[in-house]
Amino acid sequence: MNSFSMPISIRWADIDANRHLRHSVYYDFGAAARMKLLSERGLTTKKLEELHIGPILFREEAVFRREILLEDQISITVELYKCTADFARWSLRHTFIKEDGTVATTLNIDGAWIDMNLRKLAKPDEFIQQIFAEFPKSKDFEWTLPAAK
């Protein structure tokens, strides 16, 4: 999969007193985009439940470059920019792009997998590994070493 892009419909409730997109809404849109990407590849919430595994986040960071207003036409892309060879730990970049191509915001996350029964970090099975192997990758993509235990 070379790229993933999702249009965003901005609602009046997403706007703050300064008449631009509320900061917390960026995180909500990021979560919606990455879950749509996973679901489109077959990793639905039903499949996650069946595998007793779920994605967890260690860090979310937004870098705001341009305001997003109610009337703006926005799309969001999702790319893998760092991960371990077994896809147990990964970092995704969400880019909020205005209709004219201007990057409004970049949202970076660091995540992993949790075994829902044991409530401990888990290595994903081959099904999930294959999905992540086919994820769109950023130009600056890099493989990382597993986290120290």
Structural domains in the chain, CATH included, are 5-144 (3.10.129.10)
pLDDT in tens, 91-143: 999 999 999 999 999 999 999 999 999 999 999 999 999 999 999 999 999 99
Using alpha carbons, select from 125, 127, 76 the residue that is nearest to residue 98.
Answer: 76
Which burial class, exposed, middle or buried, applies to 32 when counting CB atoms under 10 A from its CB (0-12, 13-18, 19+)? middle
Full-model pTM:
0.93
pLDDT in tens, 53-99: 999 999 999 999 999 999 999 999 999 999 999 999 999 999 999 99
